[in-house]
């Protein structure tokens, strides 16, 4: 029997300026968006449903563009990142315009996701191997406590921008499990070394190897994560010293589940190369890479024919 697995695509960051953001900039040989390739690779890997997490005001244009292309090929659901699921005592945040973070975004999908699922960003190209590895994990994941989650681990050499440093989570791995995650800005310097500078300014920069493991926020969960996010949301808000700027982020929640013994997180290595537009100068390189993959037969000339 075929097991249902879902891909949740975090696209609420598109906002009201939908037409001008990098998530929907045509980069493929035939005006495809990066998000098109993610859905295509997910279908090939065996995912059975796509959930787009968007802002409610972008629904019509999103459905008329991306939705119209992919809905004939896979079951599609839409969720909205709205501030109507806040803990008691924090009703004042309902009017906050800035999104409340990726953990809150995932919580907004609770009513639409009842099976093991993967989350990705809308504006990152992750590569077929990463989707295949993720699908295999989800099809075999256990629901026994402690829950087993997953993280697709990229090699540092496969995720660098040629145009400068970018935010990257450097993974610390023991026995194939995640035991630490350092959020950094990482990139090559003039002598060819790769330097990671922690976002926590109290910590020193350090050198990383091309073979070290990096998280690109391609994470794998069972629905048990919804309960954890919900149960700890108020605790997080109580600790926040700036309710107008805080973000409830899924990497922080994931690591907290590990520290609490609620879950483990297996690091699943991929040989895939990541592509994205961190800098505007990256766009030409992404276009060339997608064209080269099409010419090699990895993708059809017209993706949705």
**pLDDT tens digits, residue range 172-185?**
999 999 999 999 99
**pLDDT for residue 1 is more than 70:** no
Residue 172 neighbours by CB distance under 10 Å:
13
The DSSP secondary-structure symbol of 14 reads: G
At 18 the pLDDT is 37
Average pLDDT over residues 120-125: 93
The reported pTM is 0.93
At 71 the pLDDT is 96
- Cβ neighbors of 80 (< 8 A, separation 6 or more) are 12, 53, 54, 55, 56, 59, 108
Sign (positive or negative) of CA dihedral 95, 101, 103, 108: positive
Q: Phi and psi dihedrals of 138, rounded to 5?
A: -65, -35
Average pLDDT over residues 47-69: 92
At 22 the pLDDT is 47
What is the residue-averaged pLDDT of the chain?
91
CA-to-CA distance for 225 and 145, rounded, in angstroms? Answer: 12
pLDDT digits (tens, 9 = 90+) for 143-158: 888 899 999 999 999 9
Of 168, 263, 163, give the one whose Cα is nearest residue 213.
168
Average pLDDT over residues 162-178: 93
Q: Work out the pLDDT band at 14, boundaries 50, 70, 90.
A: low
At 21 the pLDDT is 46
CATH topology of domain 6-295: Spore Coat Polysaccharide Biosynthesis Protein SpsA; Chain A (3.90.550)
CA-to-CA distance for 253 and 238, rounded, in angstroms? Answer: 15
% of the chain at pLDDT higher than 90? 70
How many whole angstroms from its chain centre is CA 201? 24
């Amino acid at each position: 029997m075929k097991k249902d697995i879902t891909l949740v695509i975090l696209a609420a960051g598109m906002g009201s300026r939908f037409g001008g953001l990098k998530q929907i900039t045509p980069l493929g040989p035939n005006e495809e968006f990066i998000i098109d390739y993610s859905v295509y690779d997910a279908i090939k890997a065996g995912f059975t449903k796509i959930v787009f997490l968007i802002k409610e005001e972008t629904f019509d244009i999103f459905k008329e563009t991306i939705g119209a292309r992919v809905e004939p090929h896979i079951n599609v659901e839409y969720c909205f990142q709205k501030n109507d699921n806040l803990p008691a005592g924090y009703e004042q945040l309902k009017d906050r315009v800035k999104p409340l973070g990726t953990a809150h975004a995932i919580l907004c999908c609770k009513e639409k996701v009842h099976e093991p699922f993967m989350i990705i960003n809308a504006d990152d190209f992750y590569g077929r191997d990463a989707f295949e590895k993720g699908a295999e994990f989800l099809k075999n994941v256990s629901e026994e406590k402690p829950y087993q989650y997953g993280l697709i681990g990229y090699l540092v050499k496969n995720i660098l921008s040629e145009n400068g440093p970018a935010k990257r989570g450097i993974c610390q791995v023991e026995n194939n499990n995640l035991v630490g995650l350092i959020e950094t800005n990482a990139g090559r310097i003039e002598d060819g070394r790769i330097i990671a500078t922690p976002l926590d300014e109290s910590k020193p920069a350090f050198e990383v190897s091309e073979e070290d493991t990096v998280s690109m926020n391609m994470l794998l969960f069972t629905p048990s994560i919804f309960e954890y996010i919900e149960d700890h949301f108020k605790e997080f808000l109580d600790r926040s010293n700036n309710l107008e700027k805080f973000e409830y982020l899924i990497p922080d929640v994931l690591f907290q589940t590990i520290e609490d013994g609620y879950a483990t997180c297996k690091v699943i290595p991929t040989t895939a190369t990541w592509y994205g537009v961190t800098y505007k100068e990256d766009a030409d390189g992404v276009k060339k890479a997608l064209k080269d993959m099409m010419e090699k037969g990895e993708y059809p000339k017209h993706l949705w024919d």
